[in-house]
Amino acid sequence: MTDLAPLTGAAAERSDPAAPVEHMKWWGWGVPGVAFHHEDKPAFAPFVLKAVGLDLHAVRPLDQPDFGAIDVPASIAGGDLRAALADAVGAERVRDGDLDRVVHTYGKSIRDLIKVRAGRLPRVPDLVVYPADETAVQAVVDVVVAHDAVLIPFGGGSNIAGSLEPVPNETRPVVSLDMGLLDRVLDIDEGSGLARIQAGALGPALEAQLNARGWTIGHFPDSFTHSSLGGWIATRSSGMQSDKYGDIADITKGLHVARPGGLLELRPSPSASTGPSVKEMVLGSEGRLGVITEATVQVHRTPAKRVIHAYFFPNWRAGSRAMRQIAESDVHPAVTRVSDGRETGFSLATSKESKGFSGLAQRGLFAFLKRRGWNLDEMCLSFIGYEGAPDHVAKQRRAVERIVKRNGGIGVGTGPGVLYDQKKFDTPYLRDFLLDRGTAGDVSETSVPWTGLDRMHDGVIAAAEAAYESIGRKGWIMSHLSHSYHSGACLYFTFAFVMGEDPEAEYDVVKHAIQQAFIDLGGVPSHHHGIGVEHAEWLPDVLSESGIGVLEGLFTATDPGRNLNPAKITAS
């Protein structure tokens, strides 16, 4: 993470040194001791001032929240349950400390951070358990059901859809099952390109174990550094290179799920016609069908060549049209991404003075584009990634660049792509930096058929702006196309506003307006973040009431006692 700075003092300390696995900050994203800073990015403060009216030179950042000032409800777990869980996982791996329980209360959405920093904790897990193997996970599931408690699986804790939080008025004991100790690549079938991996493995650990033997899973969501294989599966994650490697639903070939009464084992298969897909029921199930303990995933040899090229398009229409033309061509890049003019401005503003776009070359380029009649505020930055044998990469690039040219675009080489590659996981730190300064930032994403794409882009921005108007706050929204498919694409929106009197209510208005626009304009509530509680309201719009009935039937039949992360995805 080239663009982040180490912290010192209290902020650098590990949250809970005694915990069996390292957690993220209880009050924010990422590793304690790392934060975003902007001192070497001269265009950043002016950009923020213009976008949301926040003067970074005038605002005083909040102090790190004091955990001691927070009132944590006492655990209601009884002795029987504790003893049975201790039998299941070992006494030292059953924990009920306040910090441990608060870390497992929420994910890392902006709403989660606002609440946890304010000490708003209507329901905290009563116990946190850290099973060390699959047998222990299975034992926990059976203990929880036998004691009519509630089980919430916890991977890296990066969720932003409310999938990890207990039901506020839950009267039964709530157990958070932290999968962090199950982090190993168990086996690689090198002849088939299949790897068996424990579900608690976080992105970096998983990828390091694969890379050591020459393989990659090719799955790099924004949350990569702090999300787990099991979490990716439980939420139907997509990664930055999913155009080539597939979404996690494509990558997953076999599964183990600890379910009440015994392990669900789905034999790995390249493809099968074996009735309704149980695998596709577990995918996206957010804990409601049990705890994913292991997956067999397809893996690829690390490519001989991998490169990301940057292009500029004169405007959004040209950029999105080029992405569609690439998708319908014979070419299949690993990354197809284009930012709108707003996000392009943001990217330029977060560049360091000496690197990437900020150098003299850039100023020369921009002057040239201006002379060609480009409006630099509308200009759109695109990244296209190529992978494979060198001649394959060269061919793909030539084919893409014909399409870029046909749409008035221009290539600017690999420099920005290298920076993008290094910085791609840093955005949540920037989000926390802004939150420390009274500004709420968040993301929402959808997918839509190509014919509705531009209308979706413009409509969501209009809806957000109307929402800002209605709450009387100056706000910002920007977007990029992040994944391309044959029939459409994912649009990813980032939005921010300086918080007023009631940040949660203000956020609700904006978030609601964006999600409703997704639905009204032919999209889905989420392309890869999941449903949880945040997006459940819009699920009937895309599944119909009958579809919700099917989902609820599945949940009720497989978990009649509502012990498995209840009220996520659907209310019942």
Positions 545 through 564 that interact with a second copy (CB under 8 A): 545-547, 549-551, 553-554, 556-558
Helix, strand, coil shares of the chain, percent, nearest 5, are: 40, 20, 40
Give Dmax over CA atoms of the chain in angstroms: 76
Q: What is the DSSP letter of 202?
A: B
Q: Is 289 in the site for a second copy (CB under 8 A)?
A: yes
Q: Is 285 in the site for a second copy (CB under 8 A)?
A: yes
Neighbours of 444 (CB within 10 A): 26
b/e per residue 175-201 (b: at least 16 CB within 10 A): bbbbbbbbbbbeebeeeeebbbbbbbb
Near a second copy in 145-184, by CB under 8 A: none
For helices 453-471 and 503-520, the axis angle rounded to 10 degrees is 150
Residue 131 Cα to chain centre, angstroms = 25
| Cβ closest to a second copy, residue 314 vs residue 525 | 525
- x/- track of binding to a second copy for residues 393-432 (CB under 8 A): --x-------------------------------------
HSE at residue 134, side-chain half, CA atoms within 13 A, is: 19
Report the residue from 531, 534, 563, 564 that binds a second copy according to the rule CB under 8 A: 531
CA–CA gap between residue 275 and residue 13 (Å, rounded): 51
| Cβ closest to a second copy, residue 38 vs residue 288 | 288
Contact 564, 151 (CB under 8 A): yes
**Which two tokens mark 238?**
């997509």
Near a second copy in 300-319, by CB under 8 A: 300-301
Q: Is 214 in the site for a second copy (CB under 8 A)?
A: no
CB of 304 to a second copy, least distance (A): 10
Place of tokens 């049209």: 321
CB of 329 to a second copy, least distance (A): 8
| Cβ closest to a second copy, residue 64 vs residue 516 | 516
Q: Which stretch binds a second copy (CB under 8 A): 61-69, 175-183, 189-197, 307-315?
A: 189-197
**Which positions ≥6 away from 271 have C-beta within 8 Å?**
none
Task: Check if 492 is active-site.
Answer: yes
Place of tokens 């992040």: 482
Q: Is 530 in the site for a second copy (CB under 8 A)?
A: yes
Q: Is 222 in the site for a second copy (CB under 8 A)?
A: no
| Cβ closest to a second copy, residue 202 vs residue 521 | 521
- x/- track of binding to a second copy for residues 224-243 (CB under 8 A): -----------xxxx-----
| Cβ closest to a second copy, residue 321 vs residue 473 | 321
CB of 232 to a second copy, least distance (A): 10
Neighbours of 454 (CB within 10 A): 15
| Cβ closest to a second copy, residue 14 vs residue 305 | 305
Contact 568, 532 (CB under 8 A): yes
What residues act catalytically?
Answer: 492
